[in-house]
Structure 1
Amino acid sequence: MGMETIGEYEIEYAGVHLVEHEGWAAYVTIYGPSANPMHRNSIFPTQRVSLESVFESEAEAEAEARRVAHAMVEQAGR
């Protein structure tokens, strides 16, 4: 699982092995600003992204999840 901070947003992205298929899925969680430094404000709870895609490796799924998370944060910043 990867983690990054982009501006006020914290993103987590991961490749998750699929039980029902051979392959990996891309998952993203995004946290936004919080008034309490001990509390993370989940603005996009952990969800599978790029639903139509099944990736051959964990690294490919994680790269797609990261790409989607960056696009979402960029959209939120507008």
Structure 2
Amino acid sequence: MRTETIGDYEIEYSGIQLPDSENWVANLAIYAPSTNPMHRNDIFPSQRVAVDTVFSSEQEAEAEARTFALSMIEKGRKAGT
């Protein structure tokens, strides 16, 4: 699982291999800032994204999850302005 900070948000994304398959799916969680350093404020709980798509590699699945996160963060920023 990869972790990255984008602005005030922390994202965790990964590729998860499907059981009995060579295919991978994209998984994502997004956390917003919290006033308590011992607590993460999950605004997008860990879940599969791009649900209609499977990927041939873990790296492709991770890239899709990251792209999805960037899109959601950008939409949130636009909505907040």
Tell me by how many angstroms 1:7 deviates: 1.1
Normalising by structure 1, we get a TM-score of 0.93
The reply on whether 1:6 has 2:6 as its aligned counterpart is yes
Match of 1:28 in 2: 28
Alignment partners' CA distance in 1, 2:6 and 2:42: 15
Match of 1:16 in 2: 16
Structure 1 runs not aligned, ≥5 long? none
Structure whose residues are more often helix by fraction = 2
Tell me by how many angstroms 1:21 deviates: 3.8
Match of 2:66 in 1: 66
Query: Which residue type is aligned with residue 26 of structure 1?
Result: A
Describe the shift of the 1:73–1:49 C-alpha distance in structure 2 as closer, same or farther (beyond 3 A).
Answer: same
Match of 1:75 in 2: 75
* Larger relative contact order (Cα-Cα within 8 Å, sequence gap ≥ 6): 1
Tell me by how many angstroms 1:9 deviates: 0.5
| % same residue | 58
Once superposed, which parts of structure 1, at least 4 consecutive aligned residues long, lie more than 6 Å away? none
Normalising by structure 2, we get a TM-score of 0.90
